[in-house]
Amino acid sequence: MTITLADGVVRPEDLLRQAQELLAQGRAHAAIGEFRRVIALAPTLGIAELGLAVACGQCGDDAAAERAARKAIGKGYDNAGARYVLARSLFGQRRHDEADAAFRHVLQLEPSHMPALAGLGESVWQRTGDADLAATTIATIAPIHPPELVLLLAKLARQARGHAGELGMLEQELERAPASLALRLGAARAAMFCAPARALDHALTAVRAAPRDKGAYALYGDALLANGRAADAAAVAAQLLQVDGHDGHALALQASAWRLSGDPRYRELYDYTRFVHAQPIDTPAGWADLPAYLRDLSRCLRGMHGARFHPLDQTLQGGSQIELYPEHAQDPALRAFAQAIAGPIDRYLRMLGPGADALRRRNQGRWRCNGMWSVLLRANGFHFNHFHGQGWISSACYIDLPESIGTGNGDGWIKFGEPVLPTTALGAEYFVKPEPGLLVLFPSWMWHGTVPFAGTAQATRLTIAFDIVPA
């Protein structure tokens, strides 16, 4: 929509304000068009170029974001914010050496710029796999550590020294800042894997400090479960579900608590026969058959996986992960992926049908994607068991697989039902063997992970995953 004033004049500042409002509302696609109208009316306005760069970055078009950020800087809008947007666009394109230099430029302008510190640490880690080097790099630039930076350093400590190393750093910092909710929650998460009793202490302290914080309360439920207190964990889940009946974290917690206590209602949430479904994706228009399409899609994705090491905040170990935006893709194979999955998803929803359970009561036959990514796992790589708290239905689509996965011994298979908490002693219950072109759909609250697979250094397992929510 274009704003035309009573005098018939369209003013760039009014369009700019409208574009910024669209961006603030999370409507980045719409904002792109408005920023471009501003630029057409006022070609020298650097702030409009920067807004366009931010909007393009949020839509996953990092190349366009880079072009716009460089134009903003060239038009005189050269500050830490613009340089950070440029750095993120380079990082998004997996140009890690350039991204490192760009993040450092931001930090020369503003040494306490937290997003740039986090970006530099993540970039060094993904490029080198050296957690200590990444930690030293950012700690040298920012010797005073606010809680946000401590959390990043703790994640790096986990890569180098496990959960005990992460917990030790967080508890040390809590002695200096005992009121920090972020540090307290981080300590509770880390302790669940190495000191469950301390996890419960930290989580209870967090809940008392922030009784209305849903995340803190859910984490308290996890800590109860980690200490074997299934009935108390189920009660926490029930209270969370009274607030939001679609809360994925609460559903995962409730299911695990019911299973641990032998409650038969567990099968209402973990009905594998009804809720987990595997079928081939469709062959998009323009390809003779599915193998031909998968070859082109594999070639495209492999060209995009530039990082050597996994992101700090994701569930994979021994591989790389990239965000995907098929609607902006230049490669026709990636652009066609939306067509390839639409039919299988529609068929899955028709198969589910209506119902009163947590999955089917949201099924109106309409859906939209809520995030999509690709993972390239190397030999001995795997996904930790996890669930997707912001999804409704989740997926795993297999594009290219190593030969070892076809041997039938379970290597590289997707598994369901095993919580990540080691103290629950609840093993996996259901497995699906991957095949090229196979799409597995399942409720987002289901615990799932992968079995590591053996192989040579060249053996890789290439997948696409996405979440969908009701439209």
Largest CA distance in the chain: 75
Has residue 4 been placed in a domain? no
CATH code, domain carrying 163: 1.25.40.10
Among 156-165, 431-440, 451-460, name the one with the lowest average pLDDT: 451-460
Q: Are residues 82 and 55 in the same domain?
A: yes
Mean pLDDT of the chain: 93
What is the tens place of the pLDDT at every residue in 26-60?
899 999 999 999 999 999 999 999 999 999 999 88
Q: Are residues 77 and 159 in the same domain?
A: no
Instruction: Specify the pLDDT at position 21.
Output: 95
Q: Are residues 130 and 158 in the same domain?
A: no
Query: Which alpha helices (DSSP H) does 262-391 contain, by range?
Result: 266-269, 272-275, 290-304, 332-335, 337-352
Query: Of 246, 245, 242, 204, which Cα lies nearest the Cα of 221?
Result: 204
Distance CA 131, CA 324 (A): 26
What is the tens place of the pLDDT at every residue in 348-383?
999 999 999 999 999 999 999 999 999 999 998 999
pLDDT over 90 (residue 145): no
Q: What is the SS3 assignment for 37-89?
A: HHHHHCCCCHHHHHHHHHHHHHCCCHHHHHHHHHHHHHCCCCCHHHHHHHHHH
Q: Are residues 88 and 19 in the same domain?
A: yes
Has residue 297 been placed in a domain? yes
Could you tell me the two tokens for 12?
A: 């760039």
What is the tens place of the pLDDT at every residue in 71-87?
999 999 999 999 999 99
Has residue 6 been placed in a domain? no
Q: Are residues 319 and 279 in the same domain?
A: yes
Strand order, beta sheet including 448-450: 430-432, 414-416, 448-450
| DSSP code for 178 | T
Total domains, the chain: 3
| Residue 434 · residue 405 · CB < 8 Å | yes
Domain boundary residue, one of 91, 109, 141: 141
Indicate the pTM of the whole model: 0.89
Distance CA 92, CA 69 (A): 14
pLDDT over 90 (residue 311): no
Phi and psi of 462, rounded to 5°? Answer: -110, 125
pLDDT over 50 (residue 412): yes
Q: Are residues 294 and 315 in the same domain?
A: yes
442 has which bridge partners? Answer: 394
Has residue 103 been placed in a domain? yes
pLDDT over 70 (residue 4): no
pLDDT over 90 (residue 327): no
C-beta neighbour count of 175 within 10 angstroms: 7
Distance CA 91, CA 97 (A): 9
Q: Are residues 135 and 159 in the same domain?
A: no
Instruction: Specify the pLDDT at position 14.
Output: 87
| DSSP code for 369 | E
Q: How many whole angstroms from its chain centre is CA 388?
A: 9
Domain boundary residue, one of 232, 264, 296: 264
pLDDT over 90 (residue 253): yes
Domain boundary residue, one of 141, 166, 181: 141
pLDDT interval class at 5 (50, 70, 90): very low
Has residue 3 been placed in a domain? no
- Whole-number Cα distances in Å, 318 to 223, 321, 384, 394, 421: 27, 10, 11, 22, 20
Distance CA 206, CA 182 (A): 9
Query: Of 138, 122, 194, which Cα lies nearest the Cα of 165?
Result: 194
Q: Are residues 372 and 415 in the same domain?
A: yes
Average pLDDT over residues 167-196: 96
| Residue 405 · residue 413 · CB < 8 Å | yes
pLDDT over 50 (residue 132): yes
Average pLDDT over residues 165-185: 96
Has residue 339 been placed in a domain? yes
Distance CA 384, CA 467 (A): 17
Average pLDDT over residues 439-467: 94
Q: Are residues 121 and 42 in the same domain?
A: yes
pLDDT over 90 (residue 154): yes
Q: Are residues 302 and 344 in the same domain?
A: yes
| DSSP code for 440 | E
Instruction: Specify the pLDDT at position 407.
Output: 67
Could you tell me the two tokens for 142?
A: 């920012």
Average pLDDT over residues 6-26: 83
pLDDT over 60 (residue 8): no
Instruction: Specify the pLDDT at position 408.
Output: 67
Distance CA 98, CA 73 (A): 16
Domain region containing 233:
149-264
| Residue 432 · residue 276 · CB < 8 Å | yes
Has residue 2 been placed in a domain? no
pLDDT over 80 (residue 420): yes
pLDDT over 70 (residue 92): yes
pLDDT over 70 (residue 6): no
CATH code, domain carrying 281: 2.60.120.620
Q: Are residues 315 and 432 in the same domain?
A: yes
C-beta neighbour count of 260 within 10 angstroms: 21
pLDDT over 70 (residue 62): yes
Has residue 5 been placed in a domain? no
Q: Are residues 255 and 281 in the same domain?
A: no
